[in-house]
Amino acid sequence: MIEPIIRPAVSNDVSEIIELCKLHAAYEKAEYNTSGKKEKLSASLFSDTPALFCLVVESDKNILGYATYMKQYSTWDACFYIYMDCLFIKEAYRGNRLGEKLVARIKEEAKLLNCDLIQWQTPEFNTRAIKFYYRIGATSKSKERFFLETE
């Protein structure tokens, strides 16, 4: 394997990112519908004012994983922070510090966006990820996330 690089996603990556999202959803025991995702993700990632940013880990022209994040505002803290929406590495490549490298790169991006904090969540059963997050120095808060559809 060629030494992996971390780079911003480009429009040609979207189909592969969708496949990674599908694997990620299966890993988290969730459903994932690919319908319409290519157009929506492309618009969110590559507009003049992107709503979402994506980094990919690539080796030998193969994408091994991805992370997505966005800038958000905390009313309680009265400041902006980075919300890391997804972090996923293909199973065969886990344990090679690729997730750690992705998080380190997001920390760099956060500084460029004047954000001092990164937040994210993971399912309680994802004990491997939880151990990883604690190992890199993250702390956790116990909260439940709720969803309300508008239709």
The set of residues, in sequence order, having a beta carbon less than 8 Å from that of 81 and lying 6+ positions away, is 71, 72, 73, 74, 110, 115, 116, 117, 118, 119
The predicted structure's pLDDT at residue 146: 82
Give the type of residue at 148: L
Tens-digit pLDDT profile for residues 40-82: 999 999 999 999 999 999 999 999 999 999 999 999 999 999 9
| Cα(116)–Cα(49) distance, integer angstroms | 21
Q: Which domains does the chain have, with CATH numbers?
A: 5-135 (3.40.630.30)
Residue 6, CB-side half-sphere exposure with 13 Å CA sphere: 20
Helix (H, G, I), strand (E, B) or coil at 90: coil
Residue 148: pLDDT over 80? no
Q: Which residue has the higher pLDDT, 39 or 147?
A: 39
Percentage of the chain beyond pLDDT 70 is 99
The predicted structure's pLDDT at residue 6: 97
pTM equals 0.90
Among 133, 3, 127, 8, smallest CA distance to 66 is for 8
Average pLDDT along the chain: 94
